Structure 1
Amino acid sequence: MSNQRADVESELSKSNRLQLPGNLNKPTNVRWQIFIALLGLTTINYIDRAVLSVAMPAIQEDLSLDPAIVGLLLSSFFWGYALMQIPIGWIADRYRPDKLIVGSAFAWGIAQTLTGFVSTSKMLVLLRVILGIAESPIFPSGAKLQSVWLTSKERGRGATLLDSGASLGTALGGPVTVAFMAWLGGWRGALIGVGILTIVIAFISWRVIKGTPETNPRVNEAEREYLRKAHLEEYKNDSNQKDAKAARMKHYLKSRNFWAMCIGFYSLNTIFFGLMTWGPNYLAKTQNLDITTVGGAILLIFGTGVIGELTGGWIADTWRKKGGKFNTVMHTLLVASGLISAACILLLTLSTSPAMAVTLLCIALFFLRWAGLYWSIPAAISQRDHIGTVGGSMNFAGNMAGVITPIVIGFIVSSTGSYFLGLLLFSVFGLVLAGASLLIDFTKKIEAV
């Protein structure tokens, strides 16, 4: 009986050995499923932000707001959002970024829904601040998840998947807002509808974004081993890892890489948030477009940005896989992003028709969104234990542009009655984006000295 049992176990063992290699040789793609889910979250994140901008002409009329107050209202989201970036990055480094990012999505869905019930500009500002706080974990946690789930040669696509939701959400924000306004009765219905949609997407994402490669049950051994080997190779020469706790914020504050990263990201977001918050009003006021046409134009402009961003990520990873040096790849793409977008926005000041304005904005966004590669920088220049904190610091700098830019543009438009100086400002920041990107050494991690 014992021999028969041994024979059965031997045959089962052989059968398992015959089946396992096929599975082991074909890694699962759980990591990419997670980043597609992150794309969904960042998309609804930016729909939540864009809905106020697209509906602003109706809100402005309903609540009798002047341009300066509109600028204040458009910037209020970023007050809480920006101030939370560094603390949230620190939390993402030490706790569960997967739980943090999904939990925040439920919270901001509730905050967005409540916004549809307010009746004064003060309450609208307050709830936008709360919305900003609730949304703050998404990018620092996303940067941390890149280091956990992707190899260094996959992070170009990972960064642009994470960040392309910014353009996709802004693109869809126009038609989604217009549709909800039509179906649910005005701007209040749009805010409530988008809030409920956010909660639904948060639930779906909760089913996908779970754990680490070591703990996620849907990851097979082949994918787990692939990531383990890649991460060991990436960090084998990183002398910082043995002294990771010794590197503190003071070491980052002394680093040229850190400051160039923050300045470049600030410049990128000055342009992007400026166009996101004031773009609909610019098209409505200067090109005499109605709200439906504005929604279609925003879809086209920022939809082109999505294509541009994914293209930039694909170029970066493909170029590197073919032997391109990290610095050469990143410097080329990021400098091109800044210079071409600056040129297109400068030409926008000479626009003579709505078609010309929309075309120039499409080209500008296509190349501007190549700079979504900035979300691969925290993992490139920082120690593994500090990626969330560095990503949060970068996003804090970037989102200070979200605080300042809408107010500045509102002041310019209110004072001059024109968008000319605002567009000129965006062009200047395109040049700063290019210059700051050139100063970053993407192969050098920040060291504790």
Structure 2
Amino acid sequence: MNSEVEYGKKGWLRPSSTVSLEEVHNSVQIPSKTGYWRKFIAFAGPGSLVAVGYVDPGNWATSIAGGARFGYTLLSVILISNLIAMLLQALAAKLGVVTGRDLAQATRDAVGKRTSFVLWILSEIAIIACDLAEVIGSAIALNLLFGIPLLLGILITTLDVLLLLLLQKKGFRIIESIVIVLMATIFGVFVFEMIVSKPEVSALLGGYVPKFEIVTNPEMLFISLGILGATVMPHNLYLHSSIVQTRQFKRNTEGRKEALKYSVWDSNISLFIAFLINSAILILGAAAFYGTGLDVSEIEGAYELLSPTVGVGIASTLFAVALLASGQNSTITGTLAGQIVMEGFIQLRISPWLRRMITRLIAVVPAFIVTWLAGSRGTGDLLLWSQVVLSLQLPFAVVPLLIFTSDKRKMGEFANRPWVKVASWLAAAVILALNVFLVGYIVVTGHDLG
């Protein structure tokens, strides 16, 4: 166990014997005597990598479908999902900063090998579902921009392994910088797209007020769960608890308090930007397509109809550029999360390129088969269902996180305060209730909501 770690010595079945993401652990320097903003900039970065997962191609399918089918109604789901995400990601950062463990390591150290192996399998399913969205999103973007057939585009996405390996050799700060640039590109595109779509402001603002219809309408609930799964992503909790440890903060009480303060600010600011992007995507879908009778159930349909609908020729091209940036951005975080859960749950270390290739091939195979058999319609359904799978995996990451961060034996004075416990368990209860409702509905009725 790292000799600097003074918290988390009690309450575990076994001590932590390794550090998370060893090759970049404690690698980013933090200036000791400087102003607030310079220190914040030094700590900033992990939040952007986390926020990437909240604007991946899976969000596009669910948010556009939600806006086109139900107008601005599901903006409230995006708002609630983002608030839940801010809370849970702050707890993930706290776990990593205080205990020196990422969530996968903490789970293994608390529950033992057998349970850890099961949870590792579930985590891998979630990561594969996320990677599936990246594969499909990038392939669709290549098709829209360059006319590359979907099947060929899916095969081309396997080459991003080389891009990631190159970035890793340049240092973790380089990866964070590239992610920030791509995020800024996506943000700029959708601010422009939203403005030219001329949304109805009063209806837009009303959309942030939750409506009971969301849980009584099965199709609306299905899309809502897709938004939830695309916003509060389980692998991001593992990721965040690890990458906050890349900073060289002092492993004592004061050092941890400072690191936690800046890490939470970094996370909240990045997630607020992701919230604005997701809102803009749904607003675009609602303003451009709601009530028109046009079929935009797939991203391709939105691309083809966007420019004619909003009357701006470049709108569709910018839409595809942002989609490609989104897919490539998510590639980075998906790979890191896969490495974290594999090393944390089962302590298996393999070469990063091999890890990436295995994950990407597992995602490529179903995407290739579905595209071959069902064409673009099949990829649209697969993209939507991948986000629902992510939502169903959430409890297996969220519940351990809440248990660990509320335990004074593990967290000491950093254990969750009563109001945090209430808010976080209420969020977990909402997630569990929605999942149970959806699964029960599908089982009982046999209805395919896709």
Instruction: Give TM class, smaller chain.
Output: 0.3 to 0.5
**Higher relative CO (CA 8 A, sep ≥ 6), structure 1 or 2?**
2
Say which structure is richer in helix: 1
